[in-house]
Amino acid sequence: AQSVTQPDIHITVSEGASLELRCNYSYGATPYLFWYVQSPGQGLQLLLKYFSGDTLVQGIKGFEAEFKRSQSSFNLRKPSVHWSDAAEYFCAVGANTGNQFYFGTGTSLTVIP
Amino acid sequence: GAGVSQSPSNKVTEKGKDVELRCDPISGHTALYWYRQSLGQGLEFLIYFQGNSAPDKSGLPSDRFSAERTGGSVSTLTIQRTQQEDSAVYLCASSSVLAGSGTGELFFGEGSRLTVL
């Protein structure tokens, strides 16, 4: 069955430190992969997506993610975190046929000064 | 419109009342999704509309929940006889369908926060 796992429920990092949020998926074919960010009281905003091609994708706000097929992972990274990055982050898998999207349970990021 | 619009942004109701939540997707997007997000939880899929096809209702938690999409655009999610456990943020998203394949990225509205007293 298709699923998305975000192993870290909550992460705390210092401002300026690097960040990596983990995402593992289970999907029978080549997936479409997404990272979304949700600030308090807001809807979800797309950070980046992978459909095909270069496995290292760049997104908004200085984020990047790397698709590793052998590890079924799509981890999100940022070299230097800003206080404004504090939010909830969701990884998602979209089917390349049909309509289903599968979301992880999210990782809450706290940034300390 | 420029983005997905949802209304009301906040709704407080009494247990047992019916509520309607509205979603206006991005113009031209044929796919429309409803999700529920309870406090501290991830996204729970509720229902999916794609063009004129029959909707995928597999995520609706009970028969008190229903949704329709008129004219392939605006959608209304209706919850009858609301219960306290229905309190959550209801998110709507729309998407364009990639030619010959699955859906593209989802564009989300800001949600409707429902509180059932």
Q: What confidence category does residue A18 fall into, taking pLDDT thresholds of 50, 70 and 90? A: very high
- Own/partner contacts of B5-10, CB < 8 Å, gap of 24 or more, are B5/B109, B6/B90, B6/B91, B6/B92, B6/B109, B6/B110, B6/B111, B6/B112, B7/B112, B8/B112, B9/B110, B9/B111, B9/B112, B9/B113, B10/B112, B10/B113, B10/B115
For chains A and B, CB pairs below 8 A equal 56
Q: Which of A43, A90, A98 sits opposite B42 (nearest CB)?
A: A90
Spatial contact of A75 and A22, defined as CB atoms under 8 Å apart: yes
**Per-residue pLDDT at B1:** 54
In A, minimum Cα distance to B106 occurs at A46
Determine the distance from the C-alpha atom of residue A29 to the mean position of all C-alpha atoms in its chain, rounded to a whole number: 19
**Could you read off the pLDDT of B63-88 as tens digits, one per residue?**
999 999 988 799 999 999 999 999 99
Q: How far is the alpha carbon of B85 from chain A, nearest alpha carbon, in Å?
A: 19
Residue B30 touches chain A, beta carbons under 8 Å: no
**Could you read off the pLDDT of A49-72 as tens digits, one per residue?**
998 888 999 999 999 999 999 999
Q: How far is the alpha carbon of B99 from chain A, nearest alpha carbon, in Å?
A: 10
Rounded to an integer, what distance in angstroms lies between the CA atom of residue B14 and that of residue B78?
A: 15
Residues within 8 A of A (CB atoms), B 52-81 only: 56
pLDDT at B104 over 90: no
Percent of chain A exceeding pLDDT 90 equals 73
pLDDT at B6 over 70: yes
Q: What confidence category does residue B103 fall into, taking pLDDT thresholds of 50, 70 and 90? A: low
**Per-residue pLDDT at A92:** 93
pLDDT at B101 over 60: no
**Could you read off the pLDDT of B7-44 as tens digits, one per residue?**
999 999 999 999 999 999 999 888 899 999 988 778 88
